[in-house]
Copies of this chain bind each other. A is one copy, B any other.
Amino acid sequence: MCLENKRISTAVIRRLPRYYRYLGDLVSRDIQRISSKELSQRMNITASQIRQDLNIFGCFGQQGYGYNVVSLYEEIKRILGLTKTYKLIIVGMGNLGHALMNHESFSLHGYDYVGVFDKNPEIVGKQVSEFIIQDIDSLPSFLEENQADIAILAVTKSKAIDVAKFLIESGVKAIWNFTNKDLQILESEVVHIENVHLTDSLMTLSYKLNEK
């Protein structure tokens, strides 16, 4: 049968990159096939969950055999949209913005920077790697000439909402939010937001340290 019309939950989506990572490892180790059972042991989740998760998207396995590693890897790559490339801009070139700019891992997966912005006149015009920091006011005209797919928001908390609104008005369709402010309110059918709340994450860790 293998219908693919199920509603896909956030929980499943968040596991996809993890599957992709493990399958990538298997590919690079030249492992040809893997069963849900064996993968479940490596990933420390249940085989049942793996089969359920994958089945939402299609029938990628074969009874009695398991999954072909390369083709499953390619399927998940496709599902995640990683057969395309994505153009990134950074808005807010503080320490975090600089670090993300120089982080090589993103380009390995097809995410490439096309511009960096800030509003601080002291750093606008300065060179970082191959880019010159542009004034944020030039963003709308920049976007007309250069399609950007994802904007990394790395401004200070107090400016987060205003800048995010400005990005959306300027036509940005996806914001990767590194500010410690929730931007869910700005999400819509066409605008996607993914939060990285570093401070929240750190607090979760110190909570665990205090559990008895």
Contact = CB atoms under 8 A, between A and B. Distances in A.
Interface of A: 13-14, 16-18, 20-21, 43-44, 79-82, 84, 86, 95-96, 98-103, 105-106, 109, 111, 149-150, 157, 173-174, 176, 180, 182, 184-185, 192, 194, 196-210
B81 A17 contact: no
A82 B176 CA distance: 27
Number of identical protomers: 2
Contact of A194 (B43, B174, B205): B205
Given A17-B199, A200-B14, A205 B80 contact: no
Contacts of A200: 14, 17-18, 21
A196 B99 CA distance: 15
A20 B86 CA distance: 35
Given A16-B204, A86-B206, A192-B208, 9 more contacts: A16-B207, A18-B197, A80-B206, A80-B207, A81-B207, A95-B102, A111-B202, A150-B202, A150-B206
